[in-house]
Amino acid sequence: MKEKMQRFIKAFQMHGPVHRRTLTACGIVSILVVVLLVAALGGCGKKTESEAETPVNDDPVFTLPDEVEPMEVTLPEGAQEIMDKYPDVYAWLEIPGTAAVLGTPADVSYPIAQHPTDGDYYLNRDLDGNNSKTGTLFTEARILDVPVNGLDFNDPVTIIYGHNMANRTMFGGLQTYLKQLQFGDDQVVYVYQEGRRLTYRIVGGVQYGTAHIIYYHDFSNPAVFNDFFANLWQEKDASTNVDKDNIPVAGDRVLILSVCKNGDDNHRYLVVCKLVEDTDEINAANLAAAQEAAMKAAVEGANQG
């Protein structure tokens, strides 16, 4: 029985770096149930004396599925080296198609850092900690005693800050990019982590005041979440460009790119994006499907034995 359990668990192990999922607690419970069921079914009925003396074949009564492999994710060029060198860099942002619109040499593609204690650390610093006008794209861990964003992009709202550079580096060209944007499935933002890619669809570009968004809004509360985006979608000025049919609602996971508004010190410009795909979730679904198939095969094998 012990050997059967080991072979079954081994069939579901998933190897790889951070974010590639291992067998879940629920999966282990499911495996235990199946193994116990097989044992119970195999023990039903009274054995004859001759049968009792027959050597027991320890081979499992079902065929184990092939190992479940996670989706392969290729990081943008140079991202792995940056992540390995700088511990505060935990993700990479890429916005395809921006170069063609903005006339820049390359699409928006930068590392994302988070300092564990100082929320504004990277506002005017590069990754080496040197003073820098361009700063570094960053998220905040905490503001005063309030948690802001974790490192897994599983918060209801994640905000990435970047400077509005005149040469259209960092987030300098986002307002121009959003002004002409025709919303659709191809207008996306990618966030990469090692072994993982999150795909967000851009759904709006709109101004907002300078107040801290997450500090003053508990987005875990569905009513607060819905009210915030309903009000945001009512903003009307020359910079507003929102997909009226795609307003975020409670249950969505939202990414906001926040940058100073062009020529306006009293507002920030927000690029609002909704999560449409997470390779971690796809891998988890594939694992669950494999578990279900194996359980079914185990029961059928036991019934036929």
The pTM of the full predicted model, rounded to 2 decimals, is 0.77
Q: In the chain, pLDDT over 90 holds for what percent of residues?
A: 66
Determine the pLDDT at residue 34: 45
Q: Which position has the higher pLDDT, 168 or 34?
A: 168
- Looking at the predicted structure, is the pLDDT value of residue 256 above 50? yes
Q: Let me know how many helices (H) and strands (E) the chain has, helices first.
A: 8, 10
- Looking at the predicted structure, is the pLDDT value of residue 4 above 80? no
Determine the pLDDT at residue 219: 98
- Looking at the predicted structure, is the pLDDT value of residue 30 above 90? no
Quick: pLDDT tens for 194-247: 999 999 999 999 999 999 999 999 999 999 999 999 999 999 999 999 999 999
Average pLDDT over residues 274-282: 94
- Looking at the predicted structure, is the pLDDT value of residue 305 above 70? no
- Looking at the predicted structure, is the pLDDT value of residue 75 above 80? yes
Distances (CA, A) of 126 to 28, 112, 149, 226: 44, 11, 20, 36
- Expressed in angstroms, the distance from the first to the final Cα of the chain is 16
- How many C-alpha atoms does 115 have within 13 Å on its Cβ side? 17
Determine the pLDDT at residue 104: 95
Query: Domains plus CATH for the chain?
Result: 2-71+282-304 (no CATH), 79-279 (2.40.260.10)
- Looking at the predicted structure, is the pLDDT value of residue 65 above 80? no
Quick: pLDDT tens for 126-161: 999 999 999 999 999 999 989 999 999 999 999 999
Determine the pLDDT at residue 300: 76
- Bridge-based pairing of strands 146-147 and 241-242 is unpaired
Please report the DSSP string for 234-303 in residue order: T--STT-EE-TT----BTB-EEEEEEEETTEEEEEEEEEEEEEEEHHHHHHHHHHHHHHHHHHHHHHHHH
Quick: pLDDT tens for 283-296: 888 878 877 887 88
Q: In the chain, pLDDT over 70 holds for what percent of residues?
A: 77
Average pLDDT over residues 69-83: 91
| Residues 160, 60 contacting (CB under 8 angstroms) | no
User: What confidence tier does 67 reach under pLDDT thresholds 50, 70, 90?
Assistant: low
- Looking at the predicted structure, is the pLDDT value of residue 19 above 80? no
User: What confidence tier does 68 reach under pLDDT thresholds 50, 70, 90?
Assistant: low
Distances (CA, A) of 138 to 47, 103, 217: 69, 25, 20
